[in-house]
Amino acid sequence: MKFPEHFLWGAASAAYQVEGAYNTDGKGPSIWDEFSKIPGKTKHNTNGQIAVDFYHHYKEDIVLMAEMGLKAYRFSVSWSRILPNGEGEVNQEGLDFYEKVIDELQKHQIEPILTLYHWDLPEVLQTKYGGWESRHTIDAFVEYCRILFDKFGTKVKYWITFNEQNVFTSLGYRWASHPPNVSDSKRMFQANHIVNLANAKAIQLFHQVVPQGKIGPSFGYGEVYPLTSSPADVLAAVDANQFNNDWWLDVYCRGEYLERIMRLLKQMHIAPDVTIEDKKVLQTGKPDFLGINYYHGGTVKAPDTEKVITGKNFDKIDPYLMAGDAQSNTPESQLFQSVENPYLDKTNWGWEIDPIGFRIALRQVYEKYRLPLIITENGLGAFDKLEGGQVDDQYRIDYLNDHLVQVGKAISDGVPVFGFCAWSFTDLLSWINGYDKRYGFVYIDRDDYSPKSLLRIKKKSFNWYQRIIETNGGKL
Ligand code: BGP
């Protein structure tokens, strides 16, 4: 398989899922610190207070990244570590921490990819202003971004604005399975609009302050297939792709909402309130590239009255299938009905395994928006077993191998993909699934009940990825 020269072979993480040190060196609480205290919201009531303690282990972890030959590391900054109150006074120790991480990465020739927002809003902004339902949060976000652009603009080339806006707004405001624990479509689409404005304004500022850098959002993309060739099913799949994907990507890349979906939301009285000024803002902040997080897509048929996936059981919540309940009054239930795909196997958590869907996704996104792409997440969550000091995760190797082959094919098809960040480098906290849903190349000795030794142990996949990087994909 042929990959471009200087391809960014990387891995990704997020602050809340790895750092721990939740109240150390002046860090303020985030909405996840608070949400995880609500009994039953997360598996075994797990939280990120200690996580895998990257805060104190970053040097050791970066040495392992260097040993692996990693070319890029995507991490997120915890807003409330920089601004404990979400705005106002800067916590110098927070800035110092990320500076040390960036310097350490660069010492080992690893390109830092900095995510500005990976879901951990400062709690104060939620309680005081209503979080992403308030325009005040746009200003606070832009000020937070300005601090990081000023501080790291000369060191960091690649920046991600929002991680999976589609997922955090849907899970947080529609399905009440993420903070702020709301279940209200109108509020979700309004919060989503506020985030769109924050995204555009941050990008606009970035282009002024860091003209030599590149910035874009990371989107959770999954292609939706029709169950059959019946035109009604094909139309349902077209609608599902518009509802699940283009609704967001059109705003990012074209600066406007998809008319067909907006009309539907208006009919249902759940459309966001968009002012003339807002429309101008959305036109001004277009990304330089798109980050794509790919786990899987979905399959749909024309809607009927049968029950569809509701995502009520937190174990099985699937952020990429936002299908509603056919009996309820959701916009999806008028457009499509999610069904199982008879051709695909599933992970232990019921996520479809669909490598070819990855190639399709990359082709579709590129053809529509003509922007360079970077894979900012892809990986397999599995129950790994530590036996005799080793983890034989051949299933993860197979998964990543199959997906990377399809990325390689998409590149041969002409899609400009400039990097691949596996999710994740070390094991980490899965937001609501605890510590048993492991994704890393490096096993961390901890479980849902205790941080144990936090020892880092290379899995079989570590050596495999090392070899892939060494040969620039030649061994795929
Ligand atoms: C994405 C998130 C990541 C990560 C990943 C795996 O949606 O951006 O932060 O968590 O999914 O998801 P999970 O932990 O639910 O298995």
| 400 contacts 463 by C-beta, under 8 angstroms | no
Establish whether 19 is a catalytic residue. Answer: no
Query: Could you give the percent of the chain with pLDDT greater than 70?
Result: 95
Query: Could you give the percent of the chain with pLDDT greater than 90?
Result: 93
Ligand 1 atom at minimal distance to the Cα of residue 295: 11
pLDDT at 1: 82
- 2 band by pLDDT with thresholds 50, 70 and 90: confident
Ligand 1 atom at minimal distance to the Cα of residue 349: 16
Going by alpha carbons, the residue nearest to atom 4 of ligand 1 is 430
ipTM of the complex: 0.98
Question: Among 45-49, 213-217, 298-302, 326-330, which stretch is predicted with the lowest mean pLDDT?
Answer: 326-330
Pocket probe mutation, ligand 1, options 431, 432, 439, max atoms within 8 Å of Cβ:
431
| pLDDT exceeds cutoff 70 at 98 | yes
Going by C-alpha positions, the residue among 361, 323, 72 that lies closest to residue 220 is 361
pLDDT at 304: 76
Mean predicted confidence (pLDDT) in 397-418: 98
pLDDT digits (tens, 9 = 90+) for 284-319: 999 999 999 999 999 999 987 544 444 344 344 455
Mean predicted confidence (pLDDT) in 38-52: 97
| Ligand 1 midpoint to CA 302 (Å) | 29
Going by alpha carbons, the residue nearest to atom 14 of ligand 1 is 430
Buried b (16+ CB within 10 A) or exposed e, 431-440: bbbbbbbbbb
Take residue 396 and report the two structure tokens written for it: 């993860």
pLDDT at 328: 54
| pLDDT exceeds cutoff 60 at 466 | yes
Going by alpha carbons, the residue nearest to atom 16 of ligand 1 is 430
- Residue 44: which residues within 8 A CB-CB, separation 6 or more? 434, 448, 449
Take residue 466 and report the two structure tokens written for it: 């090392």
Ligand 1 atom at minimal distance to the Cα of residue 163: 8
Put residue 426 in one of left, alpha, beta given phi > 0 → left and psi -120 to 50 → alpha. Answer: beta
Pocket probe mutation, ligand 1, options 175, 313, 377, 378, max atoms within 8 Å of Cβ:
377
pLDDT digits (tens, 9 = 90+) for 201-211: 999 999 999 99
Phi, psi of 292 (to 5 degrees): -115, 125
pLDDT at 319: 53
pLDDT digits (tens, 9 = 90+) for 234-266: 999 999 999 999 999 999 999 999 999 999 999
Establish whether 377 is a catalytic residue. Answer: yes
pLDDT at 11: 98
pLDDT digits (tens, 9 = 90+) for 113-152: 999 999 999 999 999 999 999 999 999 999 999 999 999 9
DSSP assignment of 358-399 equals HHHHHHHHHHHH---EEEEE----B----BTTB---HHHHHH
| Ligand 1 midpoint to CA 476 (Å) | 25
Q: Which amino acid is at 291?
A: G
| Ligand 1 midpoint to CA 43 (Å) | 14
| Ligand 1 midpoint to CA 431 (Å) | 7
Going by alpha carbons, the residue nearest to atom 6 of ligand 1 is 430
**Dihedral of the CA atoms 237, 238, 244, 248 (nearest 10)?**
170
Mean predicted confidence (pLDDT) in 189-203: 98
| Ligand 1 midpoint to CA 98 (Å) | 22
d(CA 278, CA 340): 39
| 26 contacts 88 by C-beta, under 8 angstroms | no
Take residue 471 and report the two structure tokens written for it: 């040969």
Angle between helix 394-412 and helix 355-369 axes, rounded to 10 deg = 30
User: Which residue out of 111, 164, 223, 352 is catalytically annotated?
Assistant: 164
| Ligand 1 midpoint to CA 145 (Å) | 23
| pLDDT exceeds cutoff 80 at 230 | yes
Domains of the chain (ranges, CATH numbers): 8-380+395-436 (3.20.20.80)
In the block, tokens 């800067």 appear at 90
| Ligand 1 midpoint to CA 430 (Å) | 6
Residues with CB under 6 A from ligand 1: 14, 17, 163-164, 167, 220, 293, 319, 377, 381, 423, 430-431, 433, 437
Going by C-alpha positions, the residue among 449, 223, 165, 469 that lies closest to residue 341 is 223
Ligand 1 atom at minimal distance to the Cα of residue 351: 16
| pLDDT exceeds cutoff 80 at 465 | yes
